[in-house]
Amino acid sequence: MKPLTLVAGQASLAQLAAVYRNETPARLDDACRPRVEAAAAQIAEAAAGSEPVYGVNTGFGKLASLKIAPGDTSRLQRNLILSHCCGVGAPMPRALVRLMMTLKLLSFGRGASGVRWDLIELLQEMLARGVVPVIPAQGSVGASGDLAPLAHMTAVMIGEGQAEVSGQVLSGAKALELAGLEPVKLGPKEGLACINGTQFSTAYGLAGLFDSWRAAVNALVISAASTDAIMGSTAPLRPEIHTLRGHRGQIEAAGTMRAILDGSEIRESHRDGDHRVQDPYCIRCQPQVTGAAMDVLRQAATTLVTEANAATDNPLVLTDPAAIVSGGNFHAEPVGFAADMIALALSEIGAIAQRRIALMVDPTLSFDLPPFLTPEPGLNSGLMIAEVTTAALMSENKHLANPCVTDSTPTSANQEDHVSMAAHGARRLGRMVENLNYILGIELLCAAQGIEFRAPLTTSPALQRAIARVRADIPPLTEDRFLAPELEQARGLVAGNALLGVVDVTMPELA
């Protein structure tokens, strides 16, 4: 696969999505090399001097006041990595590890970390040759950097730890050898530069963002289908309503749903003589809710793409004027806030989707659809318990949406006395997206079943194509059967591009 060349400080969401979705290997544009080497020279000079410089010739954290002899600086960095490999739990997915490694490249490319180009070259070659460190996903509090997970990444670079290569999990040294690479001997500050940063939290935040956006635009298709299934009104989608309010997401959500529903016979059949004055909010307010969630996701995207391009270790090497300065860019508070925002958006998209499911299975609200969307209610329970499952998942996501960033605790003998908790704040997004995709998948099955009950009236051409795609995998529910595998298939249709690829309607873009 042709590598993606990234300009340090200018990587785009589209480029980062390609790294995540396609595992595209990344390299830094060589234009950043002079800055990188100038900073490395400053660190080398400081290491040879007598003045204490944090992380270069001193201990770390609470031990920063202890001076390290010049001959021990390399051992100091190696000890730092080994002592910080304290992650626990299941390993990170390889796509996220590769995204994290790419983010570390971008941070180094800013020329403020003081690492040699050798370190950058090794990371690039690991990406190119498929050497993926095995990194436990738990253990970071998101301040003083994502220390434990980044230490596990760096351990492989020095020939320690474990990595996956060519489908095998090997020791770090063996993995590098199999890929034709050699471990690096860390120089002054280089271990600290590798682990002091927010790349673990940011990688999970970006992955959550990309998957959340896919769920949000799928929700526009599926909610349009639900609207037709219950013979809902399209009047609330009129552009004048949304222009008067002015929110971008709301305007785009309404416009997309209008395009998806265009040409529906079901809609035309009840324009006149419909005794209902207004639909419930879960139908009438879809643009206001899903559109608002889209706006929140875009706000989070702004934060995360900024963070992806940032220099976030400590101390930072300044070149004009020359200085090595301790600061706090490792504190992942911006990522924590972004993750909490994404969690809120996920929860709300799922909450309103679950109410549409409840509407469709309830014969008192569904405008003459059979109870639980089965042709023989009583003998069959239909989609009764599928709806209950969505209620469970909706409630779980509501609990998961509680903020993580407000839950600080002191660590490292009170030296690091306020932390962001961005790491698990971002990591929980994967579970929330999966829950939402199940909810939307079940809504999709309900909407398809409801629309088919409206025959001989037909839905719009766009939704006909979407339902045909569903029916290619999942037949109509004519009598009760074992549904669990079909719920998995429906989730897969939402998680992938199956629906978006067939409706042939332009969808809103994240950027």
Catalytic residues: 54
Q: What are the phi and psi torsion angles at 331 (to 5°)?
A: -75, 120
- Which helix (H) or strand (E) segment holds residue 206: the answer is helix 199-229
**What's the CA angle centered on 445, arms 273 and 490, to 5 degrees?**
155
DSSP 249-286: HHHHHHHHHHHHHTT-HHHHHTSSS-------HHHHTH
Amino acid at 20: Y
b or e along 439-469 (b: 16 or more beta carbons within 10 Å of the residue's beta carbon)?
A: bbbbbbbbbbbbbbbbeebbbbebbbbbbeb
How many other C-beta atoms lie within 10 A of the C-beta of residue 364? Answer: 7
Structure tokens at 279: 């639909």
Q: Report the DSSP beta bridge partners of residue 325.
A: 316
> Between β-strands 132-133 and 162-165, what pairing exists: parallel, antiparallel or unpaired?
antiparallel
10 Å CB burial of residue 93 (0-12, 13-18, 19+) is: middle
CA dist., res. 62 & res. 95, Å (int):
34
CA dist., res. 311 & res. 104, Å (int):
9
Q: Report the DSSP beta bridge partners of residue 319.
A: 322
* CA distances in angstroms from 169 to 76, 82, 94, 164, 472, listed in the order given: 28, 19, 12, 4, 38
> Can you tell me which residue has the tokens 């993926």?
132
Structure tokens at 17: 């999505």
Structure tokens at 360: 């469709």
Amino acid at 486: E
Q: Is 50 helix (H, G, I), strand (E, B) or coil?
A: coil
CA dist., res. 261 & res. 279, Å (int):
16
Q: How many CA within 13 A on the CB side of residue 444?
A: 37
Tell me which residue of 95, 96, 250, 224 sits closest to 500, measured CA to CA.
Answer: 224
